Amino acid sequence: MRNANPAALRGSDAETETDGAGSSQAGVQSVEIAAHILKALASEGNPMPLKDVAKAAHMSRAKVHRYLVSLKRAGLVAQDAKSGDYRIGPAAVTLGLVGLRGLSPIRAVNDALPGLRDRVQEAVTLAIWGETGPVIIAMEEPSKAITINVRIGSILSLGTSAIGRTFAAFLPDSVTGDMIARERLRAAEDDNNVYPDPAALSEALAEIHTRRMARVRGMVMPGIDALAAPIFDHTGKVIAVVCSFGRAGAFDSRLTGKIAQTLAEVTADLSRQFGFADGGALG
């Protein structure tokens, strides 16, 4: 169903077809209006009084109330017995969960990588959490040549890579603590040890958690800078991390730069597709 026009929805709520009876795009206007009201109710995330639902839907209270009565009967809307506030009902929740189960997050993110690469004109990778830590499962390289020593299947450091730090910022210490300790021990034996001390790493992870963006410069690969951002599911759990990287000096690693903004936009959009409500609890 196409997106309903709020201006058109303010009109009659009669059960009329839109786009003409002979059009392949014909639809029932009352269904579009009901869907618009549901979206307005869902956009808040909390129970809403009738006046607020009407305001969010850009419709009169009387009209919205008529639809809410029918939506309530269908189980798509529920109403608090004491306050009278409306919220998304059990039938709508069930439909949403069925839709989420039908999504393949990894496939959807993987499909988004070529477009992201073309927008930033830099290499991009996709990583998920594996038994031994963050693992790269997809990569799109730009047309310009770049020499890297990571490939699909590479396991990344939690302490020094942008992807690893992003996972570490959003996963519990019970999952990442032992891995970080082992990495630190191995790094101590390296003459070129760049592993951050506990206080520095803790500070970096806290900033990543706040910004939802990680940045590293030359730590994993000398001369290569990287930015990474998380993707969340409907529970607020990080399910994947997308990273873009390039040559230091040519790669825009600014947290306010175009690459960071594009990466944030794409990962936020994917998170919304998987049911993540921005502002909810993050795991």
| Fold designation for 6-89 | Arc Repressor Mutant, subunit A (1.10.10)
pTM: 0.65
Please determine, for residue 21, whether its predicted confidence score (pLDDT) is greater than 50. no
Q: Which secondary structure element, helix H or strand E, spans residue 230, and what is its range? A: strand 224-232
C-alpha 155, offset from chain centre: 23
Q: What is the mean pLDDT of residues 242-266?
A: 94
pLDDT band at 150 (very low <50, low <70, confident <90, very high): confident
Q: Mean pLDDT across the chain, nearest whole number?
A: 84
Please determine, for residue 3, whether its predicted confidence score (pLDDT) is greater than 50. no
Long-range contacts of 152-159 (CB under 8 A, 24+ apart): 155/130, 156/127, 156/220, 157/133, 157/183, 157/220, 158/133, 158/134, 158/183, 159/183, 159/184, 159/187, 159/195, 159/196, 159/201
Class of domain 103-273: alpha beta
Burial of 87: CB neighbours in 10 Å, binned 0-12, 13-18, 19+: middle
Q: What is the mean pLDDT of residues 81-103?
A: 74
Q: pLDDT tens digits for 7-17?
A: 555 555 555 55
Please determine, for residue 258, whether its predicted confidence score (pLDDT) is greater than 90. yes
Please determine, for residue 280, whether its predicted confidence score (pLDDT) is greater than 60. no
Domain boundaries, the chain: 6-89, 103-273
pLDDT score at 42: 76
Q: What is the mean pLDDT of residues 159-163?
A: 94
Higher pLDDT, residue 260 or 219: 260
Tokens of 156: 């990344």
Please determine, for residue 120, whether its predicted confidence score (pLDDT) is greater than 90. yes
Residue 169: how many other CB atoms lie within 10 Å: 25
Per mean pLDDT, which range of 14-18, 70-74, 174-178, 198-202 is the poorest? 14-18
What is the distance between the alpha carbons of residues 169 and 212, in angstroms, rounded to a whole number? Answer: 9
